[in-house]
Amino acid sequence: MTTQAPSTLDIGIGGMTCASCVARVERALKKVPGVSLATVNLATESARVEVVPDAQATQSISMEARLRRAVRDAGYEPRAANALLDAPDASPWAGFAPIAWGLALSLPLVLPMLGDVLGTHWMLPALWQFLLATPVQFVLGARFYKAGWHALMAFSGNMDLLVAIGTTAGWALSVWLWLSAEAGSMPHLYFEGSALVVTLVLLGKWLEAGAKRQTTSAIRALHALRPEVAHLIGFDGETDVPADEVMVGDKLVVKPGERFAADGVVLEGQTQVDEAMLTGESLPVPKEVGSLLTAGSINGDGRLVMQVRAVGADTMLSHIIRLVEDAQAAKAPIQRLVDRVSAVFVPVVLGIALLTLLGWYFTGHSFETSLINAVAVLVIACPCALGLATPAAIMAGTGVAAKFGILIKDAEALERAHQVDTVVLDKTGTLTVGKPTLRAFEAVQGVDADAALQLAASLQSGSEHPLARAVLAAAKAKNLQLSPVSEVSAVPGRGMQGMVAGHTFLLGSLRWMQEEGTTLVSDVVTRWQADGATVSALAQRLEVAGQVQTRLLALMAFGDEPKPAAAQALAALRARGIRLVMLTGDNQGAANAMARQLGLNPEDGEVLAEVLPGDKAAQVQRLQAEGRTVLMVGDGVNDAPAMAAADVAMAMANPDGGGTDVAMHTAGMTLMRGDPLLIAAALDISGRTVRKIRQNLFWAFAYNVAGIPLAALGFLNPVFAGAAMALSSVSVMGNALLLKRWKPQGIRSR
């Protein structure tokens, strides 16, 4: 009985301001029946909810409606899943009007303070101060009261509640001092403090929103790659249709300079295609009849006719967007510490503020002084920076990585990657070009070479293995006609067998042939392996005198070339202090020869050869048993078990896409082009992102640890506390955005 995977729903959430808001929304969503997991991201203003199988079917109301209601009941606004991403690009000054009004109304209140510095002592009449400060407090600051009230009703707390209580206390104290003052006297009022704190907090949120838009720029750019119109070839000729109406099997015309509306294959024409959005490669890629095309990439100067193979959510572009969104929506393990702190942070701050008020008052100070110090504690303690520290860095890091063709699937892989000390690499397709050629074909005495090659090609006619393609290419070059094959079956890690003209033939590795009892020509095999060739054999299974035997028919030598940057990439990894291991099913001689070309040392255990696909995972586990943190890099189906066993898995796309999808689903990271230099680049951006997370968390914690005692001891007034609180959130976002300047060494930018 198969276990059905939980379904995933995304919901946009408006009105969140800090880490406490995140915790409250998560609690509300987890209480909905059928929800198994809820992850809320402050930076993307969204939630990702996992729903147990069949939970939707058992509810009379749709699960999404129930989740939206839970968000609203918690005091926040449910929105479309991609509301932040799909919002049109606004002016840099969009949303600044409330701040401008706040500054205009607060400035006259602050000018007397500046006059004091210059030796001029004057003050606005109390009525004027009241008229200027009150609109700021209750009109511009209405959002704090609304959100704070919802938090209070939910027996929780958030940044808005702290700001609302603190500024209201300052405003109310000023009103009381004004009304209770003796006639003709001018008491010192604190209207300017409350008004300026509200304005500064609004300014901080506005700057923070602008930084958020920058962190989502990678996703927004990917969404913008989808064209709106496609040129469909129908019964009435060429017609324009919305791209959303394109179906699999349709034939489309793509004109020069246009983007492809779907994944497909070239039927007519040839061109150069800009696939930078997919691979990070800035050079155009030549396309001809039979070449694969990807939605969102840009046609060059040739007119093409293509047949659609994938549309909508099934396209590679949608898959890339989903991977990046998954990474940015996920929580890094380090975020759990923040979650635990934020769950109790606001109640603790309220308690400290109360103790500050009572402590100052009962030590002989005036109620006025005691209240101002308590207000400073409330204002400076807002946990905005804590909530933004991790997601802002993850969004910036994964976004800039995607720009260079590095897709990071989840935050856990991002966090673990910088700890890697051992990199295990598949050989074929990862370190080598992955397009081996048939260098030599030698039939045994008495066997016609062309007939043996025809048999080998016939057996391989349905295979997508690189060696099979090499055999088929050699047969095609000689214009050999393939024979019908029946009962074809693959023998994992060994080869394949089938029947031609009533006889059973085997084609595969030398190990398999030896297991079958085949006698091999040792001097030829030794010579070819010494030259670095991969050797396979063709044999026939016979029944002689009631016993099954195999007879060697031919030997084949295959050669592959290392990728141009492979040796440089391995040197870069070695320079990082990483141990390197090449893992391959090839024979030891061929593996050693290729390893030396790449700068690896077989004598130091850097080559593991003749490893069956099913045993690759065991080799990874053996390295882990030595206490190593292992990264497995592969490009095909046979690498998936080893990738699943590794601490971190990295899939490398190959040009034809064969087998890559399976590897990508297994891997936490995907390299969208087959450049080995991206391996070191991925580890580099991982390390830099984790450092940014730690820096942000350190400063966010340090800010509160230092700021709250200073405020409680009377060294900070509410205005400076408000400015510092706003600055903390902006500084965390700004520090994360520094990652957008990252450029990997040796890799071309788009």
Token reading at 350: 């309220």
Reduced to 3 states (helix: H, G, I; strand: E, B; else coil), residue 343 is helix
Token reading at 300: 């060059």
- Residue 739, Cα to own-chain centre: how many angstroms? 14
Whole-angstrom CA distances from 741 to 251, 400, 620, 702 are 41, 8, 35, 26
Cβ neighbours, 10 Å, residue 323: 22
Query: Angle at CA 19, nearest 5°, toward 64 and 161?
Result: 100
Task: Kindly name the residue from 160, 263, 274, 426 that is annotated as catalytic.
Answer: 426
For residues 432-466, one letter each, b for 16 or more C-beta atoms within 10 angstroms of the residue's C-beta and e for the rest, the string is: bbbbbbbbebebbeebeeeebbbbbbbbbbebebb
* Alpha carbons 153 and 142: distance in angstroms, whole number: 17
Q: Which helix (H) or strand (E) holds 523?
A: helix 522-530
Reduced to 3 states (helix: H, G, I; strand: E, B; else coil), residue 679 is helix
Token reading at 223: 């969404």
For residues 229-255, one letter each, b for 16 or more C-beta atoms within 10 angstroms of the residue's C-beta and e for the rest, the string is: ebbbbeeeeeeebebeebeeebbbbbe
* Alpha carbons 487 and 498: distance in angstroms, whole number: 5
Q: Which helix (H) or strand (E) holds 107?
A: helix 97-117
Confirm if 386 and 402 have CB atoms less than 8 A apart: no
* Alpha carbons 239 and 252: distance in angstroms, whole number: 9
426 is catalytic: yes
* Alpha carbons 297 and 313: distance in angstroms, whole number: 16
Strand order in the sheet with 304-310: 237-242, 229-234, 251-254, 304-310, 263-268, 292-293
**Residue 734 DSSP symbol:** H
Token reading at 675: 């450049």
Cα-trace Rg, the chain: 33
Confirm if 454 and 477 have CB atoms less than 8 A apart: no
Confirm if 439 and 644 have CB atoms less than 8 A apart: no
Q: Contacts by 145-152 with C-beta closer than 8 Å and gap 24+?
A: 147/15, 147/17, 147/21, 147/75, 149/75, 150/74, 150/75, 150/76, 151/20, 151/21, 151/24, 151/75, 151/346
* Alpha carbons 537 and 550: distance in angstroms, whole number: 11
**Residue 745 DSSP symbol:** T
* Alpha carbons 265 and 15: distance in angstroms, whole number: 46
Give catalytic residues, as residue numbers.
426
